Structure 1
Amino acid sequence: MDWLKGMNSVTQYIENNLTHPIQYESLSRIVGCSVYEFSRIFSFMAGMSVSEYIRRRRLSQAVFDIQTGNDKIIDIALKYCYESPTAFARAFKELHGTTPLSARKMGVPLKTYPPITFVLTIKGVNEMNFRIEKKESFKIMGLSGYENGECKTGDSLTTLWREFMDNYNFRLWNGGGTDNYHTAPFWQVAAYDFQSDGGRTKVIIGAEYKGKKPDGMTVQTVPAATWAVFTISSPTGIDYVPAAYTRIVTEWLPSSQYERDESVPSLEVFHGGDADSPEYQWEIWMPVKNK
């Protein structure tokens, strides 16, 4: 996939569908990656989330409808996929600083956000450390939930991680004591499915399964696959993970002999250490197949 062409195809698709519901699955399919990966890469490259970009474009176009036409505000709200004129007016004022009715007056200052165009930049200066591994099918146990693609503090993914760290991490890290849930080497792993559910990506956060699990955890089988394993030296917060995925998908994949294997979830693997340290090392396991 030519990522420059693919991302510009995404923004063109959004432009063509501003008056229709836009599904994250449709956007990620254009560039050939999972919803989870796409949402992070778009946010990193565009400087805003996908939903925020769509919101700004719809409200920018709504200005022209308000100022140049005679349509009712409720009709314009419905046209741009708002459920009610109240929700539309609230979003409009948040962006433009005035109400839709006031925007019909001459001389009212308003904002516009033009469509994004992704352009070529010089990359590849910094090295990327990776290895190729073939691994038989294995199982992971963990807390299961959904990630909504926005990667915001306080969202369902953050809540899931907090529950895991508060209630399960210590028990698994220490081998479960007499329960013997896990044997070394310890894998703290998050698996993100390629297939999503209504724009949400299924995620399971836990560790490699060795035959016994704590109550409240589920077990998921990861199929046999070839993996491109990238060692990342950075903290693991939301300011760093999207940058790592962006480099892998936009720099490494296009120049390699591989493409992403969409039938297998991607993994994030964490070992012991200070995850807030710039020297902390963690891994992204990207399932790949020959082009």
Structure 2
Amino acid sequence: MEWIERLNKAINYIEEHITEEIDYEQVAKVACCSTYHFQRMFAYMVNVPLSEYIRRRRISLAAVDLQDGKKKIIDVALKYGYTSPTAFNRAFQSIHGVAPSVVKDEGVSLRAFPPISFKITIKGVDEMNYRIEQKESFRIVGVAEPLHKEIEKNFEIVPQMWEKAAMNGTIEKLVSMMDSSPMGVLGVSLCNDFEDWRHFIAVASTKTIDNTLEEYIVPSFTWAIFPGEGKAPQAIQELEKRIVTEWLPTSGYEYDNGPDIEVYISPDPQNAKFEVWIPVKKVK
């Protein structure tokens, strides 16, 4: 329950600072998790990215401010962070379907997006298999690309990385170097609060690398490991959503500040076999 309470405190923080530039790192600190993991949990639980939720809240409140007809459009736009009237008009119409100039007219239909709140609901009709493992640090080698701090902007970066790695022979090369646990091709998202965010396509290996690859030492963590299979990437995404929305809230664990790892055991995209590793710690 404490975990859910922290999420609600983070939403309250957003509401208290809705007319300011919201620092995602500070929001995540209120929820006692990393910036990456907060955004990831939020998107899975609310079904919209954090940035879109904030945008909807601001535009919803802007409509209320404009309805009394006493405030200038430019002043309301500036209040909610839009320095360009054109950008505000575009955002307003995308949410409400009308221009801000007609809001005060009688009979105009608007959309309201109230603040959300989190609560525990009973799910879990389908069983979830998992194991908890303490693992010492291990070395991965592979290729990496920087990730954006707003995680939805990475939905293009990561698939393009995998497509490129498959086409240019990188994955085949990595498979030949794999000699350590976890055995499989790894998708590793390094998104903690202490270093630059990157996504690795890699394998666990002790072998020497050339200048086309780089290495990273995954620190020692306790891992919650979930096996899965099915069509990629849909089956993986569905499992990750269930982990966040069903398992994590009642597990007695919470995210630790480490990387997320996807272990691809079978390369067949139509019937992939994989594991999802999330770093966890006991809830205090």
What is the TM-score of this pair, normalised by structure 2?
Answer: 0.84
Matching of residue 220 in structure 1 with residue 209 in structure 2: no
Q: Name the amino acid aligned to 2:8.
A: N
Structure 2 residue identity aligned to 1:248: I
Q: Quick check: 1:143–1:216 contact (8 Å CA) kept in 2?
A: no
Q: Are residue 98 (structure 1) and residue 98 (structure 2) matched?
A: yes
Answer whether contact 2:4 2:249 (CA < 8 A) is retained.
no
Contact 1:143 1:164 in 2 (8 A): no
**Structure 1 residues 173-212: aligned runs within 5 Å:** 173=175, 175=176, 181-183=177-179, 186-196=183-193, 201-212=197-208
Query: Which ranges in structure 1 are unaligned for 5 or more consecutive residues?
Result: 176-180
Counterpart of 1:65, as a letter, is D
Which structure 2 residues correspond to residues 243-282 of structure 1 after superposition, within 5 A? 243-256=238-251, 258-262=253-257, 264-277=258-271, 280-282=272-274
Relative to structure 1, is the Cα distance of residues 34 and 245 closer, same or farther in structure 2, using a 3 angstrom cutoff? farther
Task: For structure 2, list consecutive stretches of 5 or more residues without a partner in the other structure.
Answer: none
| 1:90 shift after superposition | 0.8
Query: Contact 1:41 / 1:242 at 8 angstroms: preserved in 2?
Result: no
* One-letter amino acid of the structure 2 residue matched with residue 159 of structure 1: Q
**Among the aligned pairs, what percent are the same residue?**
38
Deviation for aligned residue 1:89 = 0.8
**Of 267, 275, 279, which residue of structure 2 is paired with 1:287?**
279
Kindly provide the amino acid, as one letter, of the partner of residue 277 in structure 2.
Answer: W
> Does the 8 Å contact 1:191/1:266 carry over to 2?
yes
Q: Which residue number corresponds to residue 12 of structure 1?
A: 12
Q: Which moved more, 1:245-254 or 1:224-233?
A: 245-254
* Structure 1 SS opposite 2:187: strand
Residue number in structure 2 paired with 1:166: 167
**What is the aligned-residue RMSD (CA, Å)?**
2.9
Partner of 1:233: 229
Q: How many pairs does the alignment contain?
A: 280
The alignment's TM-score, normalised by the length of structure 1, stands at: 0.82
In structure 2, C-alpha distance between the alignment counterparts of 1:254 and 1:97, rounded to whole Å:
37
Displacement, 1:22? 1.7
Shift of 1:210: 2.5
Q: Tell me which stretches of 4 or more aligned residues in structure 1 moved more than 6 Å.
A: none
